[in-house]
Homo-oligomer: A and B are copies of this chain.
Amino acid sequence: MTTSLFSERVDLLDNPTAGRVSFVAHLSNRKARSKYEQLLVEGPQAVRELVRFAPAAVRDVYVDVELVKHHHDLLVEARKITDFVHPCTRQVVNAMSSDAQGICAVANLEQLPIVSAEQFAAPSNELIMVLARIQDPGNAGTMIRVADAFGAQAVYATSGTVDMTSPKVVRASAGSAFHLPIVTGQFSDLVSALRRDGYQVFGTAVQATLTLDELLASRSQSLQGPVALVFGNEARGLAEDERELCDELLSIPMYGEAESLNVATAAAVITSAVARVRHQS
């Protein structure tokens, strides 16, 4: 154990039943996150992005002492921003989270860019992804990562979408949840605001008036402006009233026997294609 990595202000945490340990574990619960306005961040990738992109939000980092060497570079980064990097026994880290891979962190929600629609002004000429009642945290996290990778400037999450502060969402986003603002609100409020701001709002549906390939082939010029891409619930897609609020509905041409794509896959296909057009000009 490289003790010099740790501040004198912290001791080895070795009691898996201590109050602090169950408090951290309890942050997997939405009500607890909301009550304490704190978030649990699991695994080296998500912790690293938290430390880099939202250092002011970091409260505590917990690391398995047996894995200090393995996480050395990340711990050095973390120590630059906080004294509260705690060495823990493996049992303690495992009691905090079964998905920590030896390291997890607690962050203040208030210092993270997860905001309501009223607090957020959409940038003027950008790409925005809208998650409309996405239920699965793995899908939601993957979609945030896709949005980030292809240059979206914000992710909107409509009411009924899985809680964006869920540790599973953050983990599936591979830390992209800390890279761009996440804006929450009612579908109609979010989409109306986007249209007012000049955004072209494309919904997605299996049955649609326009295919992605047609859009790319004939109307790529129109993709240079502000564009919002809206993806609906896994089982039911976009609801009738949600579709009506979009400017147009897009489908993805498919050539085999598969009837549909997983929503995160669909988001990757459409967002990457739109981003390619926007960056070619």
Residues of A at under 8 Å CB distance from B?
49, 53, 142, 145-152, 174, 176, 179-180, 213, 216-217, 252-262, 264-265, 268-269, 272-273, 275-276, 279-280
Determine if A258 and B142 form an interchain contact, defined as CB atoms under 8 angstroms apart. no
Q: Indicate if the CB atoms of A253 and B279 lie closer than 8 Å.
A: yes
Q: Give the docked Cα–Cα distance between A179 and B148 (Å).
A: 33
- Assess the A252–B280 pair: CB atoms within 8 A: no
Task: Please determine whether A258 and B213 come into contact, CB atoms closer than 8 angstroms.
Answer: no
How far does the alpha carbon of A217 sit from the alpha carbon of B279 in the complex, in Å? 12
Pairs A–B under 8 Å by Cβ, sample size 12:
A145-B261, A145-B265, A148-B258, A149-B254, A149-B256, A149-B261, A150-B255, A151-B254, A176-B257, A255-B275, A268-B268, A272-B273
Interface of A (DSSP majority class): helix
Closest 10 CB pairs of A and B: A151-B255, A149-B258, A179-B257, A148-B256, A148-B258, A269-B272, A149-B254, A268-B268, A265-B268, A151-B256
- The CA-CA distance from A149 to B273 in the complex, in Å, is 16
Q: Across the interface, name the chain B residue whose C-beta is closest to A252.
A: B272
Q: How far is the CA of A195 from the CA of B199 in the complex (A)?
A: 46
| Chain B residues whose CB sits within 8 angstroms of the CB of A213 once the complex forms | 276, 279-280
Give CA–CA (A11, B280) in the complex, Å.
64
Report the nearest B residue to A270, measured CB to CB: B272
Q: Which residue of B lies closest to A254 (CB)?
A: B149
Is there an interface contact between A262 and B145, defined as CB atoms closer than 8 Å?
yes
Which residues in B have their C-beta under 8 angstroms from that of A147? 256
From residue A208, how far is it (CB to closest CB) to chain B in Å? 16
Closest residue to A265 on the B side, CB-wise? Answer: B268
* Given A150-B255, A174-B259, A268-B268; 20 other pairs, CB 8 A cutoff: A145-B261, A145-B262, A145-B265, A148-B256, A149-B255, A149-B258, A149-B261, A151-B254, A151-B255, A176-B256, A176-B257, A176-B258, A180-B256, A180-B257, A213-B276, A213-B280, A253-B276, A264-B265, A269-B269, A272-B273
